[in-house]
Amino acid sequence: MGDTLVSVNVGMPRDVSWRGRTVHTGIWKSPVAGPVMARTLNLDGDGQGDLAGHGGEQRAVFVYQLDSYRYWQEHLQRADFTHGMFGENFTVEGLADSEVCVGDRYRIGSAEFEVTQPRTTCYRVGIRLGVPEMPALLVRHRRPGFYFRVLTQGRVRAGDAIERTYQDPHRLSVADIDALLAVNIRSVVLASQAAIPHLGEGGRIISIGSCLGERVPFPGVTVYSMTKSALLSFTRGLARELGPQGITVNLVQPGSTDTDMNPSNGEQSDLQRAMTALGHYGRPEDIAAAVAFLASPAARQITGTTLTVDGGANA
């Protein structure tokens, strides 16, 4: 069997009780027997509960693979999975995350779709599966699935063949992007979420980003810079959320720093050194000093900001 649309799944948001509070979520999806219209923002009959994290033109359709279903059935020792349980709109045979690339286009039924990004996992999939740690498992085991945007509206139904109509020449796979997101964004988010319940007045959350989050001085680092840039918004948003609790949230952005990964005598060191105002590499101690300051009582009034330690590379 070639790449195939095995199931089309839709569902409208509902309120569910979870850990003593009510969560509005569209994670519950059920298979549809007949044809379904794929439109710019949604499939007919489908909706999202949290529009900040799901849905919209760039995330109109979530795709998950049968191969991942088989993987989780074995890993979790479960035999009760049904199509749509991971919140996906399309359950597919084929289209592995390691082979599908952002920018690839596919025709299914009379509609055409374009791959936009890996799925960003949230806690609601853990509610749906009854496995609270499921978001972390999806990240750790690199089984994200991905989103389509709808290029040409049309009808789709279970059993439709999936035909690739365009292959993006840059060949950046869903799995590659997900790996960057996992290290540079999700790890920070998950670590912060784990720390928050243990912090009180005077607590500090300090993340390490990169000066490339604000400026891209040369080609080849666009996706890396994108992931570091996301930490800026995360820092500012979380600072607003935690401010009433007296917890500060800040971001340290190193520039070229003498480490094993980027030594001061490496192949590109002269170029990187020339880009700085001070004309030299930073040291790990410089970054540690910035973190120590933000963690100190002297920084009690500093939150939601960045401290760039790059020798003036972004000056």
Active site residues per annotation: 224
Closest CA to 313 of 283, 270, 280, 289: 280
H/E/C letters for each residue in the chain? CCCEEEEEEECCCEEEEECCEEEEECCCCEECCCCEEECCCCECCCCCCCCCCCCCHHHCEEEEEHHHHHHHHHHHCCCCCCCCCCCCCEEEECCCCCCCECCCEEEECCEEEEEEEECCCCCHHHHHHCCCCHHHHHHHCCCCCEEEEEEECEEECCCCEEEEEECCCCCCEHHHHHHHHHHHHHHHHHHHHHHHHHCCCCCEEEEECCHHHCCCCCCCCHHHHHHHHHHHHHHHHHHHHHHHHCCEEEEEEECCECCCCCCCCCCCHHHHHHCCCCCCCECHHHHHHHHHHHHCHHHCCCCCEEEEECCCCCC
Tell me the C-alpha distance between 111 and 220, whole Å: 33
What's the gap between Cα 98 and its chain centre? Answer: 16
Strand 105-108 and strand 162-166: the pairing is antiparallel
Tell me the C-alpha distance between 312 and 255, whole Å: 9
Tell me the C-alpha distance between 283 and 260, whole Å: 11
Strand 305-309 and strand 248-254: the pairing is parallel
